[in-house]
C-alpha cells in the first residue's frame, strides 16, 4: 500500500458502502467475508486480521462488488470475473478501472472492443454497447468517481459519495472531506456535537452553510450504521 493510497479500516469501509447503496446495502459481516475471500485483493486471504487495512482502490473495488450484487450477479460469479479480469487487464485492482460495463447476464471490459469477461475473454460485436450500462449504474446514475491514467488504464482516483463530500487519497489519507477543502467531515461533526451551530462552523472555516450541512448530513447517515 502506497503512502497516498488511502487508509480505511473494514468497519469504516462497510459504513461508506452501506450508506451509498440504496438497495441491498452490505453490512460489516458481508464486507469482511468479501475481503477474507480475496475480494478485492487475494493477498488479504493470508493477511493477519490486525493488518486488514484497505486502500482507496480496495474501497472502490468493494463498491463495484456491491454494484454487481445489486445487478444480480452471484458472489461466486463475481470472484471468478475478478480473477479473470486481473489476468486480462494485468491490473491488480481491476474493479477500480473505468471501462467496466454490464448487461443483464455478462460483464464486459472495453479493451480494443467489447470483451466479455464472463465468457472468459470473448469479443462481442460492436452493437452490444446498446445493451450495456456502466458498472456503477446499478447503484446510482451519477458519475461520482473521478479517474486518472495509471499503467495504461483509467483508474479511480477520487470518490464523491454524497453532495459536497469527497474522498481523495491525496487529501487527509482519503478520509471524507468537504469537497474542495482539506476539512474532514468528521471534524465538522465533532464540532456540531460539541454545541457549535452550523453557521458558526461555516464562518470558522470560511465555507458555505450548504457545505457544512452536507457534511453533517453525511456524518449523520454514517452514525446510524452500527
Tell me, yes or no, whether 226 lies in a domain.
yes
Q: Span 196-217, mean pLDDT?
A: 98
Domains of the chain: total: 1
Q: Span 75-98, mean pLDDT?
A: 89
Q: 85 φ, ψ to 5°?
A: -70, -35
Tell me, yes or no, whether 204 lies in a domain.
yes
Tell me, yes or no, whether 187 lies in a domain.
yes
The pairing of beta strand 53-54 with beta strand 8-9: antiparallel
**Pairwise CA distance, residues 226 & 223, whole Å:** 7
Tell me, yes or no, whether 198 lies in a domain.
yes
Over 50: is that where the pLDDT of 18 sits?
yes
SS3 34: helix
Expressed as residue numbers, the domain containing 195 is: 163-226
Q: Which of 28-37, 43-52, 155-164, 204-213 is predicted with the least confidence, judged by mean pLDDT?
A: 43-52
Q: What is the pLDDT of residue 226?
A: 57
Q: How far apart are the first and last CA of the chain?
A: 28
pLDDT digits (tens, 9 = 90+) for 128-182: 778 787 776 556 655 588 889 888 888 999 999 999 999 999 999 999 999 999 9
Q: 213 φ, ψ to 5°?
A: -65, -40
Q: What is the pLDDT of residue 119?
A: 72
pLDDT digits (tens, 9 = 90+) for 167-188: 999 999 999 999 999 999 999 9
Tell me, yes or no, whether 220 lies in a domain.
yes
Over 60: is that where the pLDDT of 1 sits?
no
Tell me, yes or no, whether 20 lies in a domain.
no
Cβ atoms of 135 and 22 within 8 Å: the answer is no
Tell me, yes or no, whether 74 lies in a domain.
no
Which run of H or of E encompasses 110? strand 107-110
| Alpha-carbon distances, residue 87 vs 35, 90, 98, 142, 161 (angstroms) | 19, 5, 16, 29, 29
**Pairwise CA distance, residues 166 & 182, whole Å:** 10
Over 80: is that where the pLDDT of 191 sits?
yes
CATH of the domain at 199: 1.10.10.10
Tell me, yes or no, whether 82 lies in a domain.
no
Q: What is the pLDDT of residue 136?
A: 65
- Helical ranges in the chain per DSSP H: 10-19, 28-36, 56-70, 75-89, 185-193, 198-205, 209-223
Q: 136 φ, ψ to 5°?
A: -75, -20
Average pLDDT of the residues of the chain:
87
Amino acid at each position: 500500500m502506497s503512502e497516498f493510497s488511502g487508509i480505511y479500516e473494514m468497519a469504516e469501509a462497510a459504513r461508506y458502502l452501506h450508506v451509498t447503496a440504496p438497495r441491498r446495502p452490505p453490512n460489516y459481516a458481508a464486507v469482511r467475508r468479501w475481503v477474507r475471500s480475496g475480494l478485492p485483493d487475494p493477498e488479504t486471504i493470508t493477511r493477519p486480521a490486525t493488518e486488514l487495512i484497505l486502500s482507496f482502490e480496495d474501497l472502490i473495488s468493494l463498491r463495484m462488488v456491491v454494484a454487481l450484487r445489486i445487478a444480480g450477479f452471484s458472489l461466486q460469479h463475481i470472484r471468478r470475473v475478478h480473477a479473470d479480469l486481473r489476468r486480462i487487464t494485468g491490473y491488480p485492482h481491476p474493479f477500480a478501472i473505468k471501462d467496466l460495463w454490464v448487461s443483464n447476464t455478462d460483464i464486459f471490459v472495453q479493451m480494443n472492443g467489447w470483451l466479455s469477461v464472463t465468457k472468459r475473454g470473448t469479443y462481442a460485436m460492436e452493437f452490444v454497447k446498446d445493451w450495456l450500462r456502466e458498472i456503477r449504474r446499478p447503484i446510482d446514475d451519477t458519475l461520482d468517481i473521478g479517474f486518472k491514467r495509471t499503467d495504461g488504464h483509467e483508474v479511480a482516483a477520487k470518490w464523491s459519495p454524497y453532495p459536497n463530500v469527497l474522498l481523495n487519497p491525496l487529501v487527509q489519507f482519503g478520509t471524507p472531506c468537504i469537497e474542495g477543502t482539506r476539512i474532514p467531515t468528521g471534524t465538522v461533526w465533532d464540532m456540531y456535537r460539541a454545541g457549535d451551530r452550523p453557521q458558526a462552523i461555516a464562518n470558522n472555516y470560511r465555507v458555505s452553510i450548504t457545505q457544512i450541512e452536507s457534511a453533517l448530513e453525511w456524518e449523520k447517515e454514517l452514525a446510524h450504521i452500527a
